[in-house]
């Protein structure tokens, strides 16, 4: 079972730990109901380090993103992020994922249970669409990811980080260099509420997590575990991918996701969508 770079912090905060998708993570700190309420009323802090993080760069990187996502990618320009889904050769949903554009490179964030399936699908896209000039790197174990979610997330994080994040707008991505550490900050409403994600090298995780731990009471940030996160995901998405459940046999149209399909472009699995 894998542990995240924030393992010691979870224990320090008194978390009840459990296994999720092969990772040891907090089930809860107090109880899931209070953590869910705290997130919705103010903001909650979640360890997202078990979500897959895949780097994509090279001359064919943009083409690979277009081929992988069954959804519209026209708004994915430098400094922006989009949510979408990808399909297999049968036209079935493989994962709901996020793509971030950092200059001419990209970062794909997958659901925890789907990283390996997405990596396999990427190789199939490279082959089918003859995308040779692209480098794909699994960055999951080299980085940490923390999410602050809730209506007061941006305000709270802005008050505690030693970085000026005030210029980051909705659905935007910005890279910072802090003491020679690259930190990517994403602002979106992935769970239907304000959500700020910090992605940093594993070695910097204790710094980021420590700042949140030090000021969480002052800023009304509720440490929250996977049980509260699962509830949030189920409110926003039709499938529970975080628990390891697969989306076998589910096609976008039967899942009432037809409006999110971009049938005006080529993407993997398009011919089988129906």
CA distance 196 to 194: 7
Kindly state whether residue 15 falls inside one of the protein's structural domains: yes
184 contacts 100 by C-beta, under 8 angstroms? yes
pLDDT of residue 241: 46
Kindly state whether residue 93 falls inside one of the protein's structural domains: no
Domain count, the chain: 1
Kindly state whether residue 127 falls inside one of the protein's structural domains: no
Q: Which residues contact 56 (CB under 8 A, 6 or more apart)?
A: 64, 65, 105, 106, 107, 108, 122, 134, 135, 136
Q: Which residues contact 133 (CB under 8 A, 6 or more apart)?
A: 58, 59, 60
246 pLDDT exceeds 60? no
Q: List the domain range (segments joined by +) for residue 165.
A: 2-50+143-236
Helices (H), 182-256: 205-219, 226-236
Q: Which residue has the higher pLDDT, 240 or 113?
A: 113
Residues 66-112: tens digit of each pLDDT: 999 999 999 999 999 999 999 999 999 999 899 999 877 999 999 89
CATH of residue 213: 3.30.1360.120
For 58, 60, 119, 122, 128, the CA distances from 132, given in Å and listed in that order, are 9, 7, 15, 12, 11
User: How much is the average pLDDT of 140-160?
Assistant: 94
Q: Which residue has the higher pLDDT, 182 or 133?
A: 133
- If one counts every other C-beta atom within 10 angstroms of the C-beta of residue 257, the result is 18
Residue 188's SS3 state is strand
Kindly state whether residue 268 falls inside one of the protein's structural domains: no
Helices (H), 129-261: 153-160, 205-219, 226-236
Place of tokens 């499938």: 239
Confidence of residue 248 (pLDDT cuts 50, 70, 90): low
Residues 15-26: tens digit of each pLDDT: 999 999 899 999
Kindly state whether residue 28 falls inside one of the protein's structural domains: yes
Kindly state whether residue 84 falls inside one of the protein's structural domains: no
Kindly state whether residue 230 falls inside one of the protein's structural domains: yes
State the chain's mean pLDDT as an integer.
90
pLDDT of residue 243: 38
Kindly state whether residue 34 falls inside one of the protein's structural domains: yes
């Amino acid at each position: 079972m894998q542990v995240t770079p924030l393992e010691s912090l979870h224990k320090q905060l008194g978390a009840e730990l459990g296994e999720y998708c092969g990772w040891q993570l907090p089930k809860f700190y107090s109880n899931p109901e209070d953590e869910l309420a705290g997130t919705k009323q103010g903001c909650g802090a979640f360890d997202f380090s078990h979500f897959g993080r895949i780097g994509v760069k090279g001359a064919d990187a943009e083409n690979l993103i277009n081929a992988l996502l069954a959804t519209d990618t026209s708004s994915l320009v430098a400094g922006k992020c989009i949510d979408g889904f990808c399909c297999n050769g049968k036209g079935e949903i493989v994962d709901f994922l996020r793509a971030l554009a950092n200059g001419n490179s990209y970062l794909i964030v997958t659901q925890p249970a789907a990283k390996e399936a997405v990596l396999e699908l990427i190789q199939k896209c490279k082959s089918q669409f003859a995308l040779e000039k692209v480098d794909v790197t699994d960055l999951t174990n080299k980085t940490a990811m923390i999410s602050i979610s809730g209506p007061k997330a941006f305000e709270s994080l802005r008050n505690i980080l030693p970085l000026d994040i005030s210029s980051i707008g909705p659905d935007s991505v910005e890279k910072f260099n802090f003491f020679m550490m690259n930190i990517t900050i994403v602002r979106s409403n992935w769970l239907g509420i304000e959500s700020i994600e910090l992605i940093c090298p594993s070695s910097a995780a204790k710094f980021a997590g420590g700042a949140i731990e030090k000021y969480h009471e002052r800023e009304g940030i509720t440490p929250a575990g996977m049980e509260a996160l699962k509830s949030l995901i189920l409110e926003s998405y039709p499938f529970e991918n975080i628990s390891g459940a697969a989306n076998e046999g589910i096609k976008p149209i039967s899942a009432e996701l037809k409006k999110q399909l971009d049938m005006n472009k080529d993407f993997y699995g398009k011919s089988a969508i129906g």
